[in-house]
């Protein structure tokens, strides 16, 4: 399990392209027959993926977690971003996740396995945060989650934010998770951008195909950028903006951990302030 420790804003401004990518960008998450996970100091969030093939996969048990099993002191959100259904077993109970279905599993669940469905195309993306209390396992289906579009088609940012794990949806200790999808012709996400010093955030860009996303990060007055491809993640410290634009259609998963779960708790970074 790779560890990610983050530099200060001033130090970030001195990083080369490769150093910036090594620190804030994660590729190679989705490997057939394997679980890949990264431990970050962004509110101790763990980001990873599992692509089961012929055999079930378990959650990581690396020494970096510091407990006897993965969810001993943690909670987790799992989203199936694959093209076919998969199965997550929790304490022997099977939960079938179709594409873009989300499963929350709370603190204390020891026996968790991830399996492929009959189509053999499940790909599980997961985010885990520390937890202080137990919440029940809950499955949210994409078909049951609705949200009104936001943004402006004339600014190419007309999109729908779908919230799964949040105070009015699946309850958790601190994890907040959902994904954003775009209307045809819209390619800008989270623009105008913001920061939120009380929470940190991780993006996963997916359904990009052969397109790329230009992800912008850094302080509003000293922005940097990362070139991101399909099923690659970006880590966003509390001081960094996080927004991007694609060369074609895409979706992205957003997940947050920190002091609160209020989705609107943001510090705006007006477009006029960006440099």
Q: What is the pLDDT of residues 112-127, one digit of tens each?
A: 999 998 778 999 999 9
Examine the pLDDT at 256 and tell me if it is beyond 90.
Answer: yes
- Asked whether the beta carbons of 147 and 169 are under 8 A apart, the reply is no
How many Å apart are CA 255 and CA 242, to the nearest integer? 12
Give the Å distances, CA to CA, from 131 to 57, 171, 172, 176.
23, 12, 8, 12
Tokens (6 digits) for 147: 């949200």
Model confidence pLDDT, tens digit, residues 83-112: 999 999 999 999 999 999 999 999 999 999
Strand intervals (E) in 66-221? 74-80, 86-90, 93-97, 102-105, 112-116, 124-130, 138-140, 159-165, 176-182, 188-189, 194-195, 199-206, 213-219
Q: Shortest CA distance to 183 belongs to which of 210, 200, 167, 159?
A: 159
Model confidence pLDDT, tens digit, residues 150-200: 999 999 999 999 999 999 999 999 999 999 999 999 999 998 999 998 899
Would you call 97 helix, strand, or coil by DSSP? strand
Kind of pairing, strands 232-236 and 243-246? Answer: unpaired
How many Å apart are CA 246 and CA 218, to the nearest integer? 18
The pTM of the full predicted model, rounded to 2 decimals, is: 0.96
| CATH 2.60.120.10 at 2-273, yes or no | yes
Contacts of 153 (CB under 8 A, 6+ apart): 183, 185, 186
pLDDT of residue 172: 97
Q: Shortest CA distance to 93 belongs to which of 60, 136, 126, 157?
A: 136
How many Å apart are CA 22 and CA 100, to the nearest integer? 28
């Amino acid at each position: 399990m790779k560890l990610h420790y983050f530099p200060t804003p001033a130090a970030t401004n001195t990083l080369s392209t490769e150093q910036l990518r090594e620190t804030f960008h994660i590729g190679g998450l989705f490997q057939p027959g394997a679980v890949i996970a990264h431990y970050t100091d962004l509110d101790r969030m763990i980001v990873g993926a599992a692509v089961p093939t012929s055999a079930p996969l378990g959650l990581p048990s690396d020494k970096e977690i510091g407990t006897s099993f993965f969810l001993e002191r943690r909670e987790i959100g799992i989203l199936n971003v694959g093209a076919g259904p998969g199965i997550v077993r929790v304490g022997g109970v099977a939960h079938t996740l179709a594409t873009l279905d989300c499963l929350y599993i709370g603190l204390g669940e020891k026996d968790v396995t991830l399996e492929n469905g009959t189509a053999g195309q499940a790909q599980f993306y997961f985010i885990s945060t520390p937890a202080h209390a137990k919440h029940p396992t809950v499955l949210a289906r994409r078909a049951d989650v609705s949200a009104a579009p936001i943004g402006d088609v004339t600014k190419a940012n007309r999109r729908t934010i779908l919230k799964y794990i949040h105070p009015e949806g699946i309850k958790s200790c601190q994890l907040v998770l959902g994904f954003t999808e775009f209307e045809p012709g819209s390619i800008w996400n989270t623009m105008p951008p913001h920061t939120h010093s009380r929470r940190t955030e991780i993006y996963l860009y997916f359904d990009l195909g052969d397109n790329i996303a230009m992800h912008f990060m850094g302080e509003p007055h000293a922005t940097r950028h990362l070139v991101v491809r399909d099923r690659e993640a970006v880590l966003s410290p509390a001081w960094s903006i996080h927004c991007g634009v694609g060369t074609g259609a895409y979706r992205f998963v957003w997940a947050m951990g920190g002091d609160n779960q209020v989705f609107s708790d943001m510090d705006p970074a007006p477009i006029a302030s960006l440099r």
